[in-house]
Structure 1
Amino acid sequence: DLIIKGFPDDEDEELKTFAINPEAVIVENGVESQIAPINRQFGSKTLGQRTMAIFAGPMMNFVLAFIVFIIIAFIQGVPTNEPKLGEITPEGAAMAAGLKKGDLIQTINGSEITSWSDVVEVIRKNPNEKLDFSIRRDNKDLDITVTPIEKTVEGKKIGLIGVYSPVEKSPIQAVKAGFTETYFWTKQIFVMVGKLVTGQFSIDALSGPVGIYQATDSVAKSGIYYLMKWAGILSINLGIMNLLPIPALDGGRLMFFAVEAVRGKPIDRQKEGMVHFIGFALLMLLMLVVTWNDIQRFFL
Protein backbone atom coordinates (compact mmCIF):
# COMPACT_ATOMS: atom_id res chain seq x y z
CA ASP A 1 0.00 0.00 0.00
CA LEU A 2 0.96 3.60 -0.57
CA ILE A 3 0.87 5.91 2.46
CA ILE A 4 -0.39 9.48 1.90
CA LYS A 5 -0.50 12.13 4.59
CA GLY A 6 -3.35 14.62 4.55
CA PHE A 7 -1.95 17.94 5.76
CA PRO A 8 -4.46 19.97 7.83
CA ASP A 9 -5.63 23.42 6.83
CA ASP A 10 -5.35 24.61 10.40
CA GLU A 11 -2.46 24.06 12.82
CA ASP A 12 -4.87 22.74 15.46
CA GLU A 13 -6.26 20.08 13.16
CA GLU A 14 -5.01 16.51 13.37
CA LEU A 15 -2.56 15.20 10.76
CA LYS A 16 -4.21 12.26 8.99
CA THR A 17 -2.60 9.36 7.16
CA PHE A 18 -4.32 7.25 4.47
CA ALA A 19 -3.30 3.93 2.94
CA ILE A 20 -4.16 3.62 -0.75
CA ASN A 21 -3.34 1.32 -3.64
CA PRO A 22 -0.16 2.30 -5.62
CA GLU A 23 -2.24 2.12 -8.81
CA ALA A 24 -4.74 4.67 -7.55
CA VAL A 25 -5.55 7.69 -9.70
CA ILE A 26 -6.96 11.16 -9.11
CA VAL A 27 -9.83 12.26 -11.33
CA GLU A 28 -10.06 16.01 -11.93
CA ASN A 29 -12.34 17.51 -14.55
CA GLY A 30 -12.74 14.10 -16.10
CA VAL A 31 -8.97 13.60 -16.50
CA GLU A 32 -7.27 10.72 -14.70
CA SER A 33 -3.79 11.27 -13.22
CA GLN A 34 -1.95 8.50 -11.45
CA ILE A 35 -0.62 9.29 -8.00
CA ALA A 36 3.17 8.97 -8.16
CA PRO A 37 4.48 6.88 -5.24
CA ILE A 38 7.49 8.41 -3.49
CA ASN A 39 9.71 5.54 -4.68
CA ARG A 40 9.05 6.54 -8.31
CA GLN A 41 9.71 10.26 -7.81
CA PHE A 42 13.01 11.83 -8.90
CA GLY A 43 13.61 13.39 -5.48
CA SER A 44 13.48 10.01 -3.75
CA LYS A 45 16.40 8.61 -5.73
CA THR A 46 19.94 8.50 -4.39
CA LEU A 47 22.38 11.29 -5.18
CA GLY A 48 24.25 9.02 -7.59
CA GLN A 49 21.08 8.03 -9.43
CA ARG A 50 19.96 11.64 -9.78
CA THR A 51 23.42 12.67 -10.99
CA MET A 52 23.47 9.96 -13.64
CA ALA A 53 19.96 10.88 -14.80
CA ILE A 54 20.91 14.53 -15.31
CA PHE A 55 24.31 13.69 -16.83
CA ALA A 56 22.74 11.25 -19.31
CA GLY A 57 21.27 14.08 -21.42
CA PRO A 58 24.53 15.90 -22.26
CA MET A 59 26.31 12.56 -22.51
CA MET A 60 24.01 11.48 -25.34
CA ASN A 61 25.13 14.54 -27.31
CA PHE A 62 28.68 13.16 -27.27
CA VAL A 63 27.43 9.65 -28.11
CA LEU A 64 25.46 11.00 -31.09
CA ALA A 65 28.52 12.87 -32.40
CA PHE A 66 30.65 9.73 -31.92
CA ILE A 67 28.19 7.64 -33.95
CA VAL A 68 27.95 10.28 -36.70
CA PHE A 69 31.74 10.43 -37.05
CA ILE A 70 31.92 6.63 -37.19
CA ILE A 71 29.36 6.53 -40.02
CA ILE A 72 31.27 9.18 -41.99
CA ALA A 73 34.59 7.36 -41.53
CA PHE A 74 33.07 4.00 -42.47
CA ILE A 75 31.54 5.36 -45.70
CA GLN A 76 34.40 7.63 -46.80
CA GLY A 77 37.26 5.62 -45.37
CA VAL A 78 40.01 6.62 -42.96
CA PRO A 79 43.13 8.30 -44.41
CA THR A 80 46.32 6.26 -44.00
CA ASN A 81 49.96 7.28 -44.24
CA GLU A 82 50.85 4.58 -46.76
CA PRO A 83 52.66 5.97 -49.87
CA LYS A 84 49.87 4.76 -52.14
CA LEU A 85 47.72 6.93 -54.41
CA GLY A 86 44.06 7.40 -53.53
CA GLU A 87 41.40 8.83 -55.83
CA ILE A 88 42.75 10.63 -58.94
CA THR A 89 41.06 13.88 -60.04
CA PRO A 90 40.05 13.94 -63.73
CA GLU A 91 41.94 17.09 -64.74
CA GLY A 92 45.03 16.82 -62.54
CA ALA A 93 48.66 16.28 -63.48
CA ALA A 94 48.58 12.74 -62.09
CA MET A 95 45.81 11.68 -64.46
CA ALA A 96 47.56 13.32 -67.41
CA ALA A 97 50.82 11.51 -66.59
CA GLY A 98 49.18 8.09 -66.34
CA LEU A 99 49.19 7.52 -62.58
CA LYS A 100 46.35 5.37 -61.24
CA LYS A 101 44.59 4.80 -57.94
CA GLY A 102 46.44 2.17 -55.91
CA ASP A 103 49.90 2.89 -57.35
CA LEU A 104 52.52 2.34 -54.63
CA ILE A 105 55.18 5.07 -54.78
CA GLN A 106 58.67 3.73 -54.10
CA THR A 107 60.92 6.70 -55.01
CA ILE A 108 60.62 10.25 -56.35
CA ASN A 109 63.67 11.60 -58.19
CA GLY A 110 65.64 8.70 -56.73
CA SER A 111 64.77 9.49 -53.10
CA GLU A 112 63.08 6.70 -51.13
CA ILE A 113 59.47 7.33 -50.17
CA THR A 114 58.15 5.61 -47.05
CA SER A 115 54.93 7.49 -46.23
CA TRP A 116 52.17 9.61 -47.74
CA SER A 117 53.61 12.57 -45.85
CA ASP A 118 56.83 12.18 -47.87
CA VAL A 119 54.80 12.22 -51.11
CA VAL A 120 52.95 15.41 -50.15
CA GLU A 121 56.13 17.17 -49.04
CA VAL A 122 58.03 16.48 -52.26
CA ILE A 123 55.13 17.46 -54.53
CA ARG A 124 54.36 20.68 -52.66
CA LYS A 125 58.00 21.80 -52.76
CA ASN A 126 58.35 21.35 -56.53
CA PRO A 127 55.68 23.28 -58.47
CA ASN A 128 56.25 23.20 -62.24
CA GLU A 129 59.25 20.87 -61.75
CA LYS A 130 59.41 17.45 -63.41
CA LEU A 131 59.37 14.61 -60.88
CA ASP A 132 60.36 11.05 -61.75
CA PHE A 133 58.06 8.62 -59.92
CA SER A 134 59.10 4.99 -59.47
CA ILE A 135 55.91 3.07 -58.68
CA ARG A 136 54.70 -0.47 -58.12
CA ARG A 137 51.52 -1.47 -60.00
CA ASP A 138 50.14 -5.00 -60.36
CA ASN A 139 53.50 -6.47 -59.24
CA LYS A 140 55.32 -4.45 -61.91
CA ASP A 141 57.78 -1.58 -61.48
CA LEU A 142 57.05 1.50 -63.62
CA ASP A 143 58.70 4.89 -64.07
CA ILE A 144 56.38 7.85 -64.69
CA THR A 145 57.25 11.55 -64.94
CA VAL A 146 54.81 14.01 -63.36
CA THR A 147 54.95 17.83 -63.34
CA PRO A 148 53.04 19.32 -60.36
CA ILE A 149 50.78 22.24 -61.23
CA GLU A 150 51.54 25.46 -59.39
CA LYS A 151 48.81 26.76 -57.08
CA THR A 152 48.81 29.64 -54.62
CA VAL A 153 47.40 28.66 -51.23
CA GLU A 154 47.33 31.25 -48.41
CA GLY A 155 49.84 33.37 -50.29
CA LYS A 156 52.30 30.50 -50.78
CA LYS A 157 53.07 28.75 -54.09
CA ILE A 158 52.85 24.97 -53.88
CA GLY A 159 52.71 22.04 -56.28
CA LEU A 160 49.64 19.80 -56.75
CA ILE A 161 49.13 16.76 -58.96
CA GLY A 162 45.44 16.04 -58.27
CA VAL A 163 45.43 12.97 -56.01
CA TYR A 164 43.81 12.20 -52.68
CA SER A 165 45.43 10.39 -49.81
CA PRO A 166 44.83 6.63 -49.57
CA VAL A 167 41.99 5.51 -47.31
CA GLU A 168 41.19 2.34 -45.42
CA LYS A 169 37.62 1.16 -44.92
CA SER A 170 37.15 -1.07 -41.89
CA PRO A 171 34.87 -1.06 -38.81
CA ILE A 172 37.83 -0.89 -36.44
CA GLN A 173 39.39 2.08 -38.19
CA ALA A 174 35.99 3.79 -38.36
CA VAL A 175 35.53 3.45 -34.59
CA LYS A 176 39.01 4.80 -33.98
CA ALA A 177 38.32 7.73 -36.30
CA GLY A 178 35.02 8.40 -34.51
CA PHE A 179 36.79 8.56 -31.17
CA THR A 180 39.58 10.75 -32.55
CA GLU A 181 37.16 13.23 -34.16
CA THR A 182 35.00 13.42 -31.03
CA TYR A 183 38.03 14.04 -28.83
CA PHE A 184 39.46 16.64 -31.23
CA TRP A 185 36.29 18.74 -31.46
CA THR A 186 35.57 18.42 -27.74
CA LYS A 187 39.03 19.78 -27.00
CA GLN A 188 38.67 22.57 -29.55
CA ILE A 189 35.31 23.73 -28.17
CA PHE A 190 36.63 23.67 -24.60
CA VAL A 191 39.53 25.86 -25.73
CA MET A 192 37.08 28.32 -27.33
CA VAL A 193 34.96 28.41 -24.17
CA GLY A 194 38.08 29.03 -22.10
CA LYS A 195 39.07 31.95 -24.30
CA LEU A 196 35.56 33.38 -24.03
CA VAL A 197 35.65 33.16 -20.22
CA THR A 198 39.10 34.77 -20.04
CA GLY A 199 38.06 37.61 -22.33
CA GLN A 200 40.14 36.57 -25.36
CA PHE A 201 36.89 36.40 -27.34
CA SER A 202 34.13 38.98 -27.20
CA ILE A 203 30.43 38.19 -27.06
CA ASP A 204 30.25 39.16 -30.73
CA ALA A 205 32.05 35.91 -31.53
CA LEU A 206 29.03 33.92 -30.29
CA SER A 207 26.27 32.76 -32.62
CA GLY A 208 22.66 32.06 -31.76
CA PRO A 209 19.88 30.34 -33.75
CA VAL A 210 20.19 32.80 -36.63
CA GLY A 211 23.95 32.31 -36.96
CA ILE A 212 23.61 28.52 -36.68
CA TYR A 213 20.95 28.53 -39.40
CA GLN A 214 23.17 30.56 -41.72
CA ALA A 215 26.17 28.29 -41.09
CA THR A 216 24.07 25.15 -41.57
CA ASP A 217 22.68 26.46 -44.85
CA SER A 218 26.21 27.13 -46.09
CA VAL A 219 27.51 23.71 -44.99
CA ALA A 220 24.53 21.91 -46.55
CA LYS A 221 25.51 23.25 -49.97
CA SER A 222 28.88 21.48 -49.67
CA GLY A 223 27.39 18.00 -49.45
CA ILE A 224 25.84 15.46 -47.12
CA TYR A 225 29.12 14.44 -45.47
CA TYR A 226 29.97 18.01 -44.52
CA LEU A 227 26.45 18.41 -43.14
CA MET A 228 26.79 15.23 -41.08
CA LYS A 229 30.11 16.40 -39.68
CA TRP A 230 28.58 19.78 -38.85
CA ALA A 231 25.75 17.99 -37.02
CA GLY A 232 28.32 16.09 -34.96
CA ILE A 233 30.17 19.29 -34.06
CA LEU A 234 26.91 21.02 -33.07
CA SER A 235 25.97 18.03 -30.92
CA ILE A 236 29.29 18.21 -29.05
CA ASN A 237 28.87 21.96 -28.68
CA LEU A 238 25.41 21.49 -27.17
CA GLY A 239 26.69 18.80 -24.80
CA ILE A 240 29.52 21.00 -23.53
CA MET A 241 27.25 24.03 -23.12
CA ASN A 242 24.80 21.94 -21.11
CA LEU A 243 27.57 20.74 -18.80
CA LEU A 244 28.77 24.24 -17.92
CA PRO A 245 28.03 25.05 -14.24
CA ILE A 246 25.39 27.62 -15.15
CA PRO A 247 22.05 27.69 -13.30
CA ALA A 248 19.08 26.42 -15.35
CA LEU A 249 21.38 24.12 -17.36
CA ASP A 250 22.20 20.49 -16.59
CA GLY A 251 25.64 21.59 -15.44
CA GLY A 252 24.00 23.92 -12.92
CA ARG A 253 21.95 21.08 -11.45
CA LEU A 254 25.06 18.89 -11.29
CA MET A 255 26.76 21.73 -9.41
CA PHE A 256 23.98 21.66 -6.80
CA PHE A 257 24.38 17.88 -6.53
CA ALA A 258 28.10 18.39 -5.85
CA VAL A 259 27.26 20.87 -3.08
CA GLU A 260 24.77 18.37 -1.69
CA ALA A 261 27.46 15.68 -1.64
CA VAL A 262 29.78 17.98 0.33
CA ARG A 263 27.08 19.20 2.76
CA GLY A 264 25.53 15.79 3.22
CA LYS A 265 22.05 17.19 2.60
CA PRO A 266 20.26 18.90 -0.28
CA ILE A 267 19.97 22.68 -0.63
CA ASP A 268 16.55 24.16 0.09
CA ARG A 269 14.37 23.58 -2.98
CA GLN A 270 12.99 27.10 -3.02
CA LYS A 271 16.45 28.65 -2.91
CA GLU A 272 17.68 26.31 -5.65
CA GLY A 273 14.61 27.12 -7.74
CA MET A 274 15.26 30.85 -7.36
CA VAL A 275 18.88 30.43 -8.51
CA HIS A 276 17.74 28.46 -11.56
CA PHE A 277 15.10 31.09 -12.34
CA ILE A 278 17.67 33.90 -12.25
CA GLY A 279 20.06 31.83 -14.36
CA PHE A 280 17.34 31.12 -16.91
CA ALA A 281 16.49 34.84 -17.12
CA LEU A 282 20.14 35.72 -17.73
CA LEU A 283 20.42 33.02 -20.40
CA MET A 284 17.38 34.43 -22.20
CA LEU A 285 18.93 37.90 -22.04
CA LEU A 286 22.18 36.53 -23.50
CA MET A 287 20.19 34.76 -26.22
CA LEU A 288 18.48 38.01 -27.19
CA VAL A 289 21.82 39.85 -27.38
CA VAL A 290 23.45 37.11 -29.46
CA THR A 291 20.44 36.86 -31.78
CA TRP A 292 20.45 40.62 -32.30
CA ASN A 293 24.17 40.49 -33.14
CA ASP A 294 23.45 37.72 -35.68
CA ILE A 295 20.68 39.76 -37.28
CA GLN A 296 22.96 42.77 -37.58
CA ARG A 297 25.76 40.64 -39.00
CA PHE A 298 23.72 38.86 -41.67
CA PHE A 299 20.84 41.18 -42.53
CA LEU A 300 21.73 44.77 -41.63
Structure 2
Amino acid sequence: MSRTRLPPLNALRAFDAVARHETVVRAADELNVTPSAVSHQLRILEESLGVQLFARHKARLKLTAHGNSLLPAVRTAFQQIANAAARIGDAVMVGDLVVSTPVGLTSRWLARHIRDFVQTYPDINLRLIASNDGKEVYSPKVDVCIRYGTGVWPDRSVSLLSHVEIFPVCSPAMISGANVKSVADLQSHPLLCEDDGSEWTRWLLASRSTRDGFRMVEMGNAHVAIEAAVHGQGLALADSLLVQDDLAKGRLVRLMQKSIPAQHSYHVVCRSEVRDMPLAAAFIAWVEHGIRTDDEAVQVR
Protein backbone atom coordinates (compact mmCIF):
# COMPACT_ATOMS: atom_id res chain seq x y z
CA MET A 1 0.00 0.00 0.00
CA SER A 2 1.20 3.51 -0.81
CA ARG A 3 2.21 5.43 2.32
CA THR A 4 0.21 8.44 1.09
CA ARG A 5 -3.00 6.44 0.82
CA LEU A 6 -5.36 6.32 3.79
CA PRO A 7 -6.46 2.93 5.16
CA PRO A 8 -10.16 2.07 4.63
CA LEU A 9 -12.47 3.98 7.00
CA ASN A 10 -14.48 0.88 7.97
CA ALA A 11 -11.29 -0.92 8.86
CA LEU A 12 -10.21 1.97 11.08
CA ARG A 13 -13.63 2.00 12.79
CA ALA A 14 -13.31 -1.74 13.46
CA PHE A 15 -9.79 -1.22 14.80
CA ASP A 16 -10.95 1.53 17.19
CA ALA A 17 -13.90 -0.53 18.44
CA VAL A 18 -11.84 -3.68 19.05
CA ALA A 19 -9.16 -1.64 20.81
CA ARG A 20 -11.79 -0.34 23.25
CA HIS A 21 -13.69 -3.58 23.86
CA GLU A 22 -10.78 -6.02 23.46
CA THR A 23 -13.12 -8.53 21.82
CA VAL A 24 -14.43 -8.85 18.28
CA VAL A 25 -17.92 -9.78 19.50
CA ARG A 26 -18.41 -6.60 21.55
CA ALA A 27 -16.98 -4.46 18.80
CA ALA A 28 -19.43 -6.04 16.36
CA ASP A 29 -22.31 -5.24 18.75
CA GLU A 30 -21.31 -1.59 18.80
CA LEU A 31 -20.92 -1.35 15.03
CA ASN A 32 -24.10 -3.35 14.31
CA VAL A 33 -22.26 -5.83 12.11
CA THR A 34 -21.28 -9.49 12.44
CA PRO A 35 -18.09 -10.57 14.26
CA SER A 36 -16.80 -12.05 11.00
CA ALA A 37 -17.21 -8.65 9.32
CA VAL A 38 -15.11 -7.03 12.07
CA SER A 39 -12.43 -9.72 11.76
CA HIS A 40 -12.39 -9.18 7.98
CA GLN A 41 -11.88 -5.44 8.41
CA LEU A 42 -9.03 -6.02 10.86
CA ARG A 43 -7.33 -8.34 8.36
CA ILE A 44 -7.71 -5.71 5.64
CA LEU A 45 -6.12 -3.06 7.87
CA GLU A 46 -3.23 -5.28 8.99
CA GLU A 47 -2.55 -6.38 5.42
CA SER A 48 -2.66 -2.79 4.15
CA LEU A 49 -0.20 -1.67 6.84
CA GLY A 50 1.92 -4.82 6.76
CA VAL A 51 1.99 -5.19 10.56
CA GLN A 52 0.12 -7.04 13.30
CA LEU A 53 -2.09 -4.74 15.35
CA PHE A 54 -3.50 -7.19 17.92
CA ALA A 55 -2.22 -10.19 19.84
CA ARG A 56 -4.52 -12.64 21.59
CA HIS A 57 -4.09 -12.77 25.37
CA LYS A 58 -6.37 -15.39 26.95
CA ALA A 59 -9.89 -14.34 25.89
CA ARG A 60 -8.90 -10.77 24.99
CA LEU A 61 -7.28 -9.03 22.04
CA LYS A 62 -4.47 -6.77 23.20
CA LEU A 63 -2.82 -4.08 21.11
CA THR A 64 0.69 -4.78 19.87
CA ALA A 65 3.30 -2.03 19.85
CA HIS A 66 2.18 -1.18 16.29
CA GLY A 67 -1.44 -1.04 17.44
CA ASN A 68 -0.60 1.25 20.37
CA SER A 69 1.26 3.52 17.98
CA LEU A 70 -1.70 3.78 15.59
CA LEU A 71 -4.55 4.13 18.10
CA PRO A 72 -4.03 7.76 19.31
CA ALA A 73 -3.94 9.08 15.75
CA VAL A 74 -7.10 7.16 14.80
CA ARG A 75 -9.04 8.41 17.81
CA THR A 76 -7.86 11.98 17.33
CA ALA A 77 -8.89 11.86 13.68
CA PHE A 78 -12.37 10.52 14.49
CA GLN A 79 -12.86 13.20 17.14
CA GLN A 80 -11.75 15.94 14.74
CA ILE A 81 -14.22 14.68 12.15
CA ALA A 82 -17.00 14.63 14.75
CA ASN A 83 -16.14 18.17 15.88
CA ALA A 84 -16.10 19.45 12.31
CA ALA A 85 -19.43 17.81 11.55
CA ALA A 86 -20.92 19.39 14.66
CA ARG A 87 -19.69 22.84 13.63
CA ILE A 88 -21.11 22.44 10.13
CA GLY A 89 -24.42 21.37 11.59
CA ASP A 90 -24.64 24.20 14.12
CA ALA A 91 -26.99 26.16 11.89
CA VAL A 92 -29.64 23.41 12.10
CA MET A 93 -29.09 22.55 15.78
CA VAL A 94 -32.28 24.31 16.80
CA GLY A 95 -35.42 22.73 18.19
CA ASP A 96 -36.87 20.44 20.85
CA LEU A 97 -35.33 17.13 21.88
CA VAL A 98 -36.94 14.73 24.37
CA VAL A 99 -34.69 12.05 25.88
CA SER A 100 -35.74 9.30 28.29
CA THR A 101 -33.04 7.64 30.39
CA PRO A 102 -33.09 5.24 33.36
CA VAL A 103 -33.35 6.85 36.78
CA GLY A 104 -29.93 5.61 37.90
CA LEU A 105 -28.12 6.77 34.76
CA THR A 106 -29.92 10.12 34.85
CA SER A 107 -28.96 10.89 38.44
CA ARG A 108 -25.50 9.34 38.55
CA TRP A 109 -24.12 10.39 35.16
CA LEU A 110 -26.32 12.69 33.08
CA ALA A 111 -27.14 15.06 35.95
CA ARG A 112 -23.41 15.55 36.49
CA HIS A 113 -22.42 16.13 32.85
CA ILE A 114 -25.43 17.61 31.06
CA ARG A 115 -24.09 21.18 31.28
CA ASP A 116 -21.49 20.27 28.64
CA PHE A 117 -24.20 19.30 26.15
CA VAL A 118 -26.32 22.36 26.94
CA GLN A 119 -23.37 24.70 26.43
CA THR A 120 -22.29 22.99 23.23
CA TYR A 121 -25.80 23.14 21.77
CA PRO A 122 -27.43 26.22 23.32
CA ASP A 123 -30.31 26.29 20.80
CA ILE A 124 -31.49 22.75 21.51
CA ASN A 125 -34.37 22.75 23.98
CA LEU A 126 -33.53 19.55 25.82
CA ARG A 127 -36.04 17.75 28.03
CA LEU A 128 -34.78 14.81 30.09
CA ILE A 129 -37.20 12.20 31.45
CA ALA A 130 -35.82 10.01 34.23
CA SER A 131 -37.76 6.81 33.67
CA ASN A 132 -37.44 3.04 33.42
CA ASP A 133 -40.84 2.75 31.69
CA GLY A 134 -40.53 0.51 28.64
CA LYS A 135 -43.56 2.14 27.03
CA GLU A 136 -41.59 5.31 26.33
CA VAL A 137 -39.50 3.43 23.77
CA TYR A 138 -42.64 3.43 21.60
CA SER A 139 -43.99 6.83 22.60
CA PRO A 140 -44.18 9.34 19.71
CA LYS A 141 -43.46 12.06 22.28
CA VAL A 142 -39.95 10.70 23.05
CA ASP A 143 -37.13 11.12 20.54
CA VAL A 144 -34.30 9.10 22.08
CA CYS A 145 -34.29 6.46 24.83
CA ILE A 146 -31.40 4.92 26.71
CA ARG A 147 -32.42 1.57 28.11
CA TYR A 148 -30.86 -1.30 30.04
CA GLY A 149 -31.90 -4.57 28.47
CA THR A 150 -31.27 -7.36 26.01
CA GLY A 151 -30.98 -5.06 23.00
CA VAL A 152 -34.17 -6.37 21.41
CA TRP A 153 -36.77 -3.68 20.77
CA PRO A 154 -38.77 -4.55 17.64
CA ASP A 155 -39.35 -1.80 15.09
CA ARG A 156 -36.73 0.44 16.65
CA SER A 157 -33.15 1.40 15.81
CA VAL A 158 -30.93 -0.03 18.56
CA SER A 159 -27.22 0.49 19.16
CA LEU A 160 -25.04 -0.66 22.02
CA LEU A 161 -24.04 2.11 24.42
CA SER A 162 -22.08 0.17 27.02
CA HIS A 163 -21.54 -3.30 28.43
CA VAL A 164 -21.19 -3.22 32.21
CA GLU A 165 -19.59 -5.25 34.95
CA ILE A 166 -20.96 -5.64 38.49
CA PHE A 167 -18.86 -5.39 41.67
CA PRO A 168 -19.18 -4.22 45.31
CA VAL A 169 -18.53 -0.61 46.30
CA CYS A 170 -18.66 1.44 49.50
CA SER A 171 -17.62 4.83 50.86
CA PRO A 172 -13.90 5.31 51.58
CA ALA A 173 -14.69 6.24 55.20
CA MET A 174 -16.65 3.06 55.78
CA ILE A 175 -13.80 0.78 54.83
CA SER A 176 -10.97 2.92 56.23
CA GLY A 177 -8.83 0.83 58.56
CA ALA A 178 -10.81 -2.34 57.92
CA ASN A 179 -8.91 -5.47 56.99
CA VAL A 180 -10.87 -6.77 54.01
CA LYS A 181 -9.07 -9.72 52.49
CA SER A 182 -11.89 -12.14 51.71
CA VAL A 183 -15.59 -12.19 50.91
CA ALA A 184 -16.31 -13.39 54.45
CA ASP A 185 -14.90 -10.09 55.78
CA LEU A 186 -17.90 -8.32 54.19
CA GLN A 187 -20.40 -10.07 56.48
CA SER A 188 -20.24 -7.34 59.11
CA HIS A 189 -21.81 -4.81 56.71
CA PRO A 190 -25.32 -4.62 55.21
CA LEU A 191 -25.54 -5.58 51.54
CA LEU A 192 -27.73 -2.95 49.85
CA CYS A 193 -29.90 -4.42 47.09
CA GLU A 194 -32.03 -3.07 44.28
CA ASP A 195 -34.29 -6.12 44.43
CA ASP A 196 -34.40 -9.32 46.47
CA GLY A 197 -30.65 -9.75 46.47
CA SER A 198 -30.45 -11.94 43.36
CA GLU A 199 -27.54 -9.95 41.91
CA TRP A 200 -25.64 -10.12 45.19
CA THR A 201 -26.28 -13.87 45.19
CA ARG A 202 -24.83 -14.13 41.67
CA TRP A 203 -21.72 -12.22 42.75
CA LEU A 204 -21.29 -14.27 45.93
CA LEU A 205 -21.60 -17.53 44.03
CA ALA A 206 -19.03 -16.34 41.49
CA SER A 207 -16.78 -15.50 44.45
CA ARG A 208 -17.13 -19.08 45.76
CA SER A 209 -19.44 -18.08 48.59
CA THR A 210 -23.15 -18.21 49.47
CA ARG A 211 -25.49 -15.59 50.88
CA ASP A 212 -25.55 -17.38 54.24
CA GLY A 213 -24.36 -15.02 56.96
CA PHE A 214 -24.95 -11.87 54.91
CA ARG A 215 -27.71 -9.37 55.63
CA MET A 216 -29.54 -8.13 52.52
CA VAL A 217 -31.33 -4.78 52.68
CA GLU A 218 -33.74 -4.06 49.80
CA MET A 219 -33.59 -0.45 48.60
CA GLY A 220 -35.93 -0.78 45.61
CA ASN A 221 -33.71 1.09 43.15
CA ALA A 222 -30.07 0.83 42.08
CA HIS A 223 -29.55 4.57 42.41
CA VAL A 224 -30.89 4.58 45.98
CA ALA A 225 -28.62 1.67 46.93
CA ILE A 226 -25.56 3.42 45.49
CA GLU A 227 -26.47 6.72 47.16
CA ALA A 228 -26.79 4.92 50.50
CA ALA A 229 -23.34 3.41 49.95
CA VAL A 230 -21.89 6.88 49.23
CA HIS A 231 -23.15 7.95 52.67
CA GLY A 232 -21.66 4.94 54.44
CA GLN A 233 -24.85 2.97 54.99
CA GLY A 234 -23.58 -0.33 53.61
CA LEU A 235 -22.12 -2.06 50.60
CA ALA A 236 -23.77 -1.66 47.21
CA LEU A 237 -23.42 -3.98 44.24
CA ALA A 238 -23.11 -1.49 41.42
CA ASP A 239 -22.70 -1.65 37.68
CA SER A 240 -19.59 -0.02 36.30
CA LEU A 241 -21.45 2.64 34.32
CA LEU A 242 -23.48 4.00 37.24
CA VAL A 243 -20.47 4.36 39.54
CA GLN A 244 -17.71 5.36 37.11
CA ASP A 245 -18.08 9.03 38.08
CA ASP A 246 -18.14 8.26 41.83
CA LEU A 247 -15.06 6.05 41.52
CA ALA A 248 -13.19 8.70 39.53
CA LYS A 249 -14.02 11.39 42.11
CA GLY A 250 -13.25 9.15 45.10
CA ARG A 251 -16.77 9.18 46.51
CA LEU A 252 -16.80 5.39 46.30
CA VAL A 253 -14.12 2.72 46.37
CA ARG A 254 -14.24 -0.71 44.87
CA LEU A 255 -14.18 -3.73 47.17
CA MET A 256 -12.52 -6.94 46.02
CA GLN A 257 -11.37 -7.44 42.43
CA LYS A 258 -14.05 -9.95 41.51
CA SER A 259 -16.61 -8.68 39.03
CA ILE A 260 -19.31 -10.40 37.02
CA PRO A 261 -20.91 -9.40 33.72
CA ALA A 262 -24.25 -7.66 34.12
CA GLN A 263 -27.19 -9.62 32.81
CA HIS A 264 -27.91 -6.93 30.22
CA SER A 265 -26.30 -3.85 28.62
CA TYR A 266 -27.19 -0.20 28.00
CA HIS A 267 -28.51 0.67 24.55
CA VAL A 268 -29.62 3.73 22.61
CA VAL A 269 -33.13 3.12 21.25
CA CYS A 270 -35.12 5.34 18.90
CA ARG A 271 -37.22 5.40 15.75
CA SER A 272 -35.17 4.76 12.63
CA GLU A 273 -36.16 8.06 11.07
CA VAL A 274 -35.12 9.97 14.19
CA ARG A 275 -31.64 8.52 14.62
CA ASP A 276 -30.02 10.46 11.77
CA MET A 277 -31.79 13.73 12.51
CA PRO A 278 -29.21 16.37 13.56
CA LEU A 279 -30.53 16.97 17.10
CA ALA A 280 -30.83 13.29 18.01
CA ALA A 281 -27.53 12.42 16.32
CA ALA A 282 -25.78 15.18 18.27
CA PHE A 283 -27.06 13.90 21.62
CA ILE A 284 -26.26 10.27 20.82
CA ALA A 285 -22.70 11.14 19.73
CA TRP A 286 -22.22 13.28 22.84
CA VAL A 287 -23.39 10.63 25.31
CA GLU A 288 -21.41 7.87 23.57
CA HIS A 289 -18.22 9.91 23.66
CA GLY A 290 -18.77 11.05 27.26
CA ILE A 291 -19.40 7.59 28.67
CA ARG A 292 -16.49 6.08 26.74
CA THR A 293 -14.13 8.84 27.93
CA ASP A 294 -15.17 8.49 31.58
CA ASP A 295 -14.86 4.72 31.40
CA GLU A 296 -11.30 4.99 30.04
CA ALA A 297 -10.43 7.51 32.77
CA VAL A 298 -11.64 5.11 35.48
CA GLN A 299 -9.64 2.23 33.96
CA VAL A 300 -6.48 4.35 33.97
CA ARG A 301 -7.11 5.38 37.55
Shorter-chain TM-score tier: under 0.3
Q: Structure 2 length normalisation: TM-score?
A: 0.20
Structure-1-length-normalised TM-score: 0.20
